[in-house]
Amino acid sequence: MTTKNRREYFRIFTSRLVTFTVEGRAYRGVVGNAGDNGVFITTRGHFSVGQDISMTFESPIFGNEERSGTIIWVGSQEKGIGVEFKTVLDTGEITS
């Protein structure tokens, strides 16, 4: 039995600290996995699908990297949010 991977982009598991802002409020979290088009952030808070997010995380190549995106899902059992970047990212930028 085969299943098709629903992800268009390759994902890499990581553990990078991230600070981010949603509707003017600052939060912290940990990037649990990253791909060229987005990240999963483990965090606490009340978020909604469709909210804009701006974030800063440490990139070994570029130092502090700033990205913006949109929350595309909110975890119920996994405490976190799925974020899609507004521009596609080279995964190596945050996982190298």
At the topology level, CATH places domain 11-95 in Thrombin, subunit H (2.40.10)
Helix residue spans in 1-96 (DSSP H):
92-95
Give the tens place of pLDDT for each residue, 38-65.
899 999 899 999 999 999 987 666 678 8
Q: 3-class DSSP state for residue 80?
A: strand
pLDDT at site 51: 98
pLDDT at 83 over 60: yes
Complete DSSP assignment for 33-54:
EEETTEEEEE--S---TT-EEE
pLDDT at res. 5: 47
Whether the Cβ atoms of residue 19 and residue 55 lie closer than 8 Å to each other: yes
- Of residues 1 and 48, the one with the higher pLDDT is 48
Quick one: average pLDDT of 11-25?
A: 89
- For residues 65 and 94, the answer to whether their CB atoms sit within 8 Å is yes
